[in-house]
Amino acid sequence: MQAEELEEIRQENKGGIKLEELSLLFLSHWYWFIFAVLVSLSVAVYKIMTTPPIYTRATSLLVKDEKSTNYSTVKDFQNLGIGVTNTNIRNEIQTISASENMVEAVRRLHLDLQMTVPQRLRERPLYNDAPVTLQFKDLPEQQTFTFKLKIVDKTHVRLYDFSHENDFTAPIGITFKSPYGALQIDLTPSFSNKWIGEEITVHKYNVKSVGTMYSSRLSVGQTDEESSIIDLSLNDENPERAEDILRSLISVYNDNWVKDKNRMAESTSEFINERLSNLTKELGDVDSDIASIRSRNLTPDVQASTSMYMSQSNDNYKRSLELQNQLSMTQFLEQSLRNNSSKQQLLPLNTVGNANIESQIEAYNTLLLARNDIAANSNEQNSEVKKSDVKLMQLKTAILRSVQNTIAQIKSQIANYQRSEAETNNKIALNPKLEKDLQSVKRQQDVKQSLYIYLLQKREENELSKTYTAWNTRIIQPPFGSDAPTSPQRSRILLIALFIGFVVPGFLLWLREYLNQTVRGRKDIDFLNIPFIGEIPNLDIRNHWWQKTQHKQREIVIKQGNRNMVNESFRIVRTKLHYFLGAITNKADGVTNKKPQVIMVTSFNQGSGKTFITANLAKTISLNHHRVLVVDMDIRRCSLSQMLPQRTKNGVSAYLSGITDNIDELIVKNAFGENVDILPSGIVPPNPTELLQSSRLTALMKEVREKYDYIYLDCPPIEIVADTSIIKPHCDATLFVIRVGVMDRRLVPEIEKLYKESSYNNMAIILNGANYISGKYGSYRYGYSYGYGGYSYGNYGHYGQTSDE
């Protein structure tokens, strides 16, 4: 066989276990699965019995938006950029689940003091069904202790099992001194006579530790991203206690929220008062500035003053214009009077606007008309006419004088109006700047005044909001839950235990086989081209798994008439060996050779069972009335010789060393029964290799060939010493023993190599230590269902016991 082929065989031998083979492996170790399942189920049942049941209670909480609360003042300040933002559901979730809230809830419910009673394999907690209540006076929250009590009767209770104090009896309903301070024990409505004599264990825990524990049992989450509903759930051994904890936790959260809001309102109130004080001072300063500006400019109201000045300016202008017209008419009249001093003409009326002058003109015109009438009827020299002329002249002089006075008066009035108009126009010109300055100051006044009024309003609203504060939450689903415990989940634990009971032994068996590098069965040697003589079952077995292992590898198990598995296996080997030896006799192209007689039995490893195979195979051959000699050629270990009832000092080593030439006196007759003789190894020589290389070995083989039909040589393993290589030329055939669980599979190709190279004469192999699984196939109750290691080749019921044994 080439090196490549050997390497390919080695790689094939490294392959994993197939499903069919794995099934056979598990079936052959069924009792381990039953044992593992029973153990795991027992552990699971014990865990269920000892684990207290856990109940789950849940509630739903609606977190209100701050827009719907009474804190509009705070909200208004938020709109101004002052204060906090709107409610954040995730922040509220973190706030509710804070351990400090749970610690306060535990403190309110006094859960740091708990009582339990024994119930089967565990302790059952007492809550609302406790027969007594305990009230310690001034007990530190961080203190921890445990003691027990028994109710003696309705008036007394016995306390015991303290750490450092003696037991004592205390009254019920009266405060007494205990090792942990003043204590009062009272009966509850749950008390009945069944509690008398019942042992109750009292546990005092650290409040923070209990709060932390319940915080770890609390689950808080949001129903969905779009809602403001928070779901809370709590796991506890007592469902009523879980409900009370959830209610208390929500109450603590609401109280803290109200406190925070009240603190915010108080802070807001302080802020408002401070700002109002500052604004009062600032408004006073602004009012002073406005009054100063108005007093300096004599303008209480700039806009009204401007309107007044504009009206006054318009009036002055109109009056000045009227006076100018009047002046022009009066000057025209004066000019007429001056230019017509000698003429007798009528003077114009209603031109001066002076009643006195108008009356004089009217008198003059009347007199002139009268004079002209007289002159028309007489002449100019008429005395009446002349008298009228004198009077007319006098009137005209008077009118002129009045006109001149009126002109002077009108000019004076015009000058006054023009001066007043100029002053008014100057004031109007100054008003825009004054208005600008005054408007700037007034704008500050308006802003501060508006803010002042706003703060006054918010202060009142804030004071009203502090008198009543609504909670930020509303319970939309009170605490609820199933009456069935959520854990331990019995069916799940039992299924897991059942799964473990099957998986653990299966995994261990698979791992053992996976790590097993030895030959496991027939399949590991099927690829060999070496003739296969047969297989011998494993004798280190138990009739039942609870029985002690029986070691029979050093016994003669072949008996006349016995039909058990081992005897049948050796008979099969005998039959195959007969055909194998017959084939050797006739293999040289039909030319008959001498009958092979000397058969060497060897192996690769020590402990392969070659001595057992040699002895029992010789015994099987002898049952066919053949004379068989078994020679112990392992002169170093003397394994075969140790099977003799009495050890003999003479044997092969004596003959090879020349101590004796009489072989007959060295042979033990019928050592293993009729027709089976043994030539023991004798004393272990100091030079076994040299003895075997002597010519006396050839003489020994020649002599025993003449006396026996078959000679079986029990030789040492080939890889340990060179003795077998020296003996092999004297042998007609070689039986190579491979033992299951002993020989390394990686060495199996080496046997094929020895066969291909004809290192040993007529090699054949025997598989020793094969195992079987249960099966009923025929009258002998065994079959040949194939497999590995501890699960191959079928079984035969209760090993080796038949009616004729």
pLDDT digits (tens, 9 = 90+) for 513-559: 888 888 888 888 888 999 999 999 887 655 444 444 444 446 788 88
Q: Which two tokens stand for residue 142?
A: 């961080």
For residue 273, the one-letter residue type is: N
| DSSP characters over 205-231 | --HHHHHHHHHHHEEEEES-TT--EEE
**pTM given for the model:** 0.59
Q: What is the mean pLDDT of residues 367-394?
A: 78
Q: How far apart are CA 786 and CA 767, in angstroms?
A: 13
pLDDT at 69: 47
Q: Is the pLDDT of residue 100 over 90?
A: yes
Give the DSSP letter of residue 87: -
Q: Is the pLDDT of residue 792 over 50?
A: no
C-alpha torsion 258→264→270→273, nearest 10 = -90
The strand order across the sheet containing 229-236 reads 218-222, 229-236, 55-63, 473-480
Q: What is the mean pLDDT of residues 224-253?
A: 92
Using DSSP's 3-state secondary structure scheme, residue 450 falls into helix
Instruction: Look at 73-77, 242-246, 428-432, 687-691 and tell me which has the smallest mean pLDDT.
Output: 73-77
**Distance from chain centroid for Cα 395:** 129
Q: Which helix (H) or strand (E) holds 58?
A: strand 55-63
Q: Which two tokens stand for residue 224?
A: 């969905």
Please name the residue that has the structure tokens 């207290």: 52
C-alpha torsion 433→436→437→440, nearest 10 = -170
pLDDT at 783: 35
Using DSSP's 3-state secondary structure scheme, residue 738 falls into strand
CA distances from 622 to 579, 618, 619, 667 (A): 17, 6, 5, 16
Residues 6 or more apart from 730 whose CB is under 8 A from it?
A: 598, 697, 698, 701
Residues 6 or more apart from 127 whose CB is under 8 A from it?
A: 238, 240, 241
Residues 6 or more apart from 394 whose CB is under 8 A from it?
A: none
Using DSSP's 3-state secondary structure scheme, residue 60 falls into strand
Q: What is the mean pLDDT of residues 208-217?
A: 94
CA distances from 72 to 298, 419, 463, 474 (A): 46, 62, 12, 20
Q: Which two tokens stand for residue 760?
A: 């040993």
pLDDT at 705: 92
Q: Is the pLDDT of residue 259 over 60?
A: yes
Q: Which two tokens stand for residue 252?
A: 């603590």
Band of pLDDT at residue 433, cut at 50, 70 and 90: low
Q: Which helix (H) or strand (E) holds 140?
A: none
Q: How far apart are CA 704 and CA 264, in angstroms?
A: 119
> What count of Cα atoms within 13 Å lies in the side-chain half-sphere of residue 755?
20
Q: How far apart are CA 347 and CA 398, in angstroms?
A: 13
Q: What is the mean pLDDT of residues 226-244?
A: 93
Q: Which residue has the higher pLDDT, 577 or 277?
A: 577
pLDDT at 253: 92
**Closest alpha carbon to 626 in 562, 696, 674, 589:** 674
Give the DSSP letter of residue 130: -
pLDDT at 777: 30
**In degrees, to the nearest 5, what angle opens at C-alpha 662 toward C-alphas 661 and 665?**
140
Band of pLDDT at residue 789, cut at 50, 70 and 90: very low
* Percent with pLDDT over 70 in the chain: 80
Give the DSSP letter of residue 83: S
For residue 694, the one-letter residue type is: S
| DSSP characters over 757-793 | TT-STTEEEEEEEE-------TTTT-------GGG-S
Residues 6 or more apart from 145 whose CB is under 8 A from it?
A: 162, 163, 179, 180, 204
pLDDT digits (tens, 9 = 90+) for 71-80: 455 455 555 5
508 within 8 A of 790, measured Cβ to Cβ? no
Q: Is the pLDDT of residue 386 over 90?
A: no
| DSSP characters over 152-193 | -SSSEEEEE--SSS--EEEESSS-EEETTEEEEEEE-TT--G
In sequence order, what E strands does 425-495 have? 473-480
pLDDT at 779: 31
- The most confident of 66-80, 459-473, 549-563, 747-761, by mean pLDDT: 747-761
Band of pLDDT at residue 606, cut at 50, 70 and 90: confident
pLDDT at 155: 93
Band of pLDDT at residue 417, cut at 50, 70 and 90: confident
pLDDT at 237: 93
pLDDT digits (tens, 9 = 90+) for 303-360: 556 666 567 767 776 777 777 777 777 777 777 777 765 556 677 766 666 778 778 7
CA distances from 244 to 32, 52, 186, 222, 478 (A): 50, 19, 22, 21, 11
pLDDT at 598: 94
pLDDT digits (tens, 9 = 90+) for 132-168: 999 998 889 899 999 999 999 999 999 999 988 889 9
pLDDT at 721: 81
Q: How far apart are CA 669 and CA 759, in angstroms?
A: 33
Report the 3 state secondary structure along 790-801.
HHCCCCCCCCCC
pLDDT digits (tens, 9 = 90+) for 32-58: 999 999 999 999 999 999 999 999 999
Q: Which two tokens stand for residue 66?
A: 């701050």
Residues 6 or more apart from 57 whose CB is under 8 A from it?
A: 233, 234, 236, 239, 242, 243, 246, 479, 480, 481
218-222 vs 199-204, strand pairing mode:
unpaired
pLDDT digits (tens, 9 = 90+) for 12-28: 555 556 788 788 888 88
Q: How far apart are CA 427 and CA 316, in angstroms?
A: 14
Q: Is the pLDDT of residue 798 over 70?
A: no
pLDDT at 70: 45
For residue 552, the one-letter residue type is: K
Report the 3 state secondary structure along 605-628.
CCCCCHHHHHHHHHHHHHCCCCCE
Task: Provide the mean pLDDT of the chain.
Answer: 80
